[in-house]
């Protein structure tokens, strides 16, 4: 999941990281309030999603430039849809558009002169379309870290830690193949911007079931010859946490697909095709909003902050959603023990500029990711970077942030600790119907019993050595 984004950090190794942090803080502090930042693509690309409101902005900006006689093909190439990535091309498009009549009301001292999408630029380009919501901006941050957009192939998580260039780890059909998976042994398959999995969380099963209930023909068109196998997929037992390193019906089913190039390709293409369908994306969003998924975890975070005497802010909301996506809910389900530990930690955060930022830093310390601690820390720093003055954060924190995806909730998406966040009360999974597919079956068909090496069924619970 992270290999595509890791290669984009070279510029930060050639630049003084501490200088970069200082510049980000200065720019954030100096931003003109009368033309607030919506999205700043300078220094690093932001993956906003092919079907997001930001992608719609890219398309509209292309039209503005074309009508103004300015080059626009770099933003949306001829015959293509918006990429869902906002970077230097879009930033240059904003600068060029400032010369167009339709953007004449953008203030002369606006950050837009640096290629930043501001409120005045958005209104000039998008007309009566509403500004991006807090949820839109939070999702752009999460997607930039996850790098699993709709329209992109899903990722198989079997043997995730194998090194493809090493003999014995690169060919899963070879007799000496050894499977390593310490990073994500419970996922099996990951799809879409929230990282839906077919393993422990069963999100992919439920989303596909929801789509099938509403439009069976859509599933049949996407999966073709594999469509008939989905009824077993919906209901196979996964074994919970105990199934991460042992054989379960679900793992056997999915491993048989992964080991067959034709079948795995069919599943990948099917999920790519479904990602293009509004009905499928709506089902995806509906599932994640439920109490048993993001809805309940978000409520637990809000209640934990309230125990700390804090009003959850815009940055807090985005921080919560990012941790929910990558890690889960708060420690101790946000109970008294978690509140007590955070209160004690925050007492020592004397250098914090923002008390909410101190709470976020403390939570990052108290609840690290068990298998991806460096990735998690790098993501967490993006939400408290400007909550501390220069030199207050450790070199470990700054390096983790700079060497991963160095975005910032404030600098990149214009979020604030001064603005309170709201949340909607979540519905329950039971609202999907009494016939909701349950993981209560163990029956496998002959096609599911195809060769699945024992090393894949029970991978090495560690990363390979040098």
Give the residue-averaged pLDDT of 440-450: 93
Q: What is the pLDDT of residue 10?
A: 37
| Cα of 38 vs its chain's centroid, Å | 19
Q: What is the pLDDT of residue 27?
A: 47
For residue 179, pLDDT beyond 70: yes
- Give percent above pLDDT 90 in the chain: 82
Q: What is the mean pLDDT of the chain?
A: 91
Give the residue-averaged pLDDT of 235-243: 87
Q: What is the pLDDT of residue 120?
A: 98
Q: What is the pLDDT of residue 367?
A: 97
Q: What is the pLDDT of residue 62?
A: 94
Q: What is the pTM of this model?
A: 0.87
Task: Give the pLDDT confidence of 324-379 residue by residue, as tens digits.
Answer: 999 999 998 889 999 999 999 999 999 999 999 999 999 999 999 988 999 999 99
Q: What is the pLDDT of residue 323?
A: 97
Mean pLDDT lowest for which of 21-35, 160-174, 212-226? 21-35
For residue 35, pLDDT beyond 50: yes
Mean pLDDT lowest for which of 40-44, 319-323, 360-364? 40-44
Q: What is the pLDDT of residue 25?
A: 47
Helix/strand/coil (H, E, C) string of the chain? CCHHHHHHHHHHHCCCHHHHHHHHHHHHHHCCHHHCEEECCCCCCEECCCCCHHHHHHHHHHHHHHHCCCCCCCCCCCCCCCCCEECHHHHHHHHHHCCCHHHCCCCCCCHHHHCCEEHHHHHHHHCCCCCCCHHHHHHHHHHHHHCCCCCCCCEECCCCCCCCCCCCCCCCCCCCCCCECCCCCCCCEEECCCCEECCCCCHHHHHHHHHHHHCHHHHHHHHHHHHHHHHHHHHECCCHHHHCCCCCHHHHHHHHHHCCHHHHHHHHHHHHHHHCCHHHHHHHHHHHHCHHHHHHHHHHHHHHHHHCCCCCEHHHHHHHHHHHHHCCCCHHHHCHHHHHHHHHHHHCCCCECCHHHHHHHHHHHHCCCCCCHHHHHHHHHCCCHHHECCCCCCHHHHHHHHCCCCCCCCCCCCCCCCCECCCCCCCCHHHHCCCCCCCCECCCCHHHHCCCCHHHHCCECCCCCC
For residue 8, pLDDT beyond 60: no
At 15, the pLDDT band (50, 70, 90 cuts) reads very low
Give the residue-averaged pLDDT of 254-265: 97
For residue 11, pLDDT beyond 80: no
Q: How far apart are CA 204 and CA 189, in angstroms?
A: 8
Give whole-number Cα distances, 267 to 27, 209, 232, in Å: 45, 15, 15
Q: What is the pLDDT of residue 97?
A: 96
For residue 12, pLDDT beyond 50: no
At 34, the pLDDT band (50, 70, 90 cuts) reads confident
Give the residue, 306 or 167, on which the prediction is more confident: 306
Q: What is the pLDDT of residue 242?
A: 80
Task: Give the pLDDT confidence of 387-432 residue by residue, as tens digits.
Answer: 999 999 999 999 999 999 999 999 999 999 999 999 999 999 999 9
- Give percent above pLDDT 70 in the chain: 93
At 81, the pLDDT band (50, 70, 90 cuts) reads confident
For residue 288, pLDDT beyond 90: yes
At 451, the pLDDT band (50, 70, 90 cuts) reads confident
At 7, the pLDDT band (50, 70, 90 cuts) reads very low
Q: What is the pLDDT of residue 13?
A: 37
């Amino acid at each position: 999941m992270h290999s595509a984004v890791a290669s984009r950090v070279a510029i930060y190794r050639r630049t003084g990281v501490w200088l970069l942090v200082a510049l980000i803080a200065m720019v954030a502090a100096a931003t003109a309030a009368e033309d607030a930042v919506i999205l700043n693509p300078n220094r690093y690309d932001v993956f906003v999603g092919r079907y997001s409101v930001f992608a719609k902005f890219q398309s509209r900006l292309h039209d503005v430039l074309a009508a103004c006689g300015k080059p626009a093909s770099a933003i949306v190439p001829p015959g293509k849809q918006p990429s869902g990535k906002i970077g230097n091309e879009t930033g240059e498009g904003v600068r060029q558009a400032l010369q167009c009549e339709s953007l004449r009301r953008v203030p002369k001292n606006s950050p837009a002169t640096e290629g930043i999408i501001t409120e005045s630029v958005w209104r000039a380009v998008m007309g009566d379309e509403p500004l991006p919501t807090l949820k839109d901006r939070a999702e752009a941050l999460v997607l930039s870290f996850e790098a699993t957009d709709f329209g992109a192939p899903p990722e198989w998580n079997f043997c995730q830690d194998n090194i493809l260039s090493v003999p014995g780890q690169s060919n899963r059909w070879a007799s000496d193949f050894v499977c390593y998976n310490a990073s994500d042994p419970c996922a099996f398959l990951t799809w879409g911007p929230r990282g839906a999995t077919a393993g422990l969380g069963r999100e992919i099963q439920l989303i596909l079931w929801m789509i099938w209930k509403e439009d069976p023909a859509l599933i049949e068109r996407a999966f073709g010859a594999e469509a008939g196998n989905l009824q077993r997929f919906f209901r196979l037992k996964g074994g919970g946490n105990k199934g991460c390193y042992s054989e379960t019906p679900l793992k056997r089913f999915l491993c048989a697909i992964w080991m067959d190039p034709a079948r795995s390709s069919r599943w990948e293409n099917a999920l790519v095709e479904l990602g293009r369908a509004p009905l499928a994306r709506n089902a995806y969003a509906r599932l994640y909003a439920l109490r048993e998924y993001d809805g309940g975890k978000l409520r637990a975070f809000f209640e934990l902050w309230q125990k700390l005497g804090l009003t959850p802010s815009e940055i807090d909301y985005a921080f919560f959603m990012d941790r929910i996506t990558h890690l889960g809910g708060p420690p101790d389900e946000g109970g008294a023990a978690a509140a007590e530990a955070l209160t004690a930690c925050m007492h020592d955060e004397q250098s914090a500029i923002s008390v909410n930022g101190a709470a976020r830093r403390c939570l990052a310390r108290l609840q690290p990711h068990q298998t991806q601690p460096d990735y998690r820390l790098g993501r967490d720093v993006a939400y408290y970077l400007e909550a501390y003055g220069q030199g207050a954060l450790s070199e470990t924190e700054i390096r983790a942030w700079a060497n991963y995806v160095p975005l910032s909730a404030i600098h990149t998406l214009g979020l604030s600790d001064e603005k309170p966040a709201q949340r909607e009360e979540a519905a329950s999974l039971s609202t999907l119907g009494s016939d909701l597919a349950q993981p209560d079956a163990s029956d496998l068909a002959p096609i599911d019993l195809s060769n699945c090496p024992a090393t894949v069924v029970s991978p090495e619970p560690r990363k390979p050595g040098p």
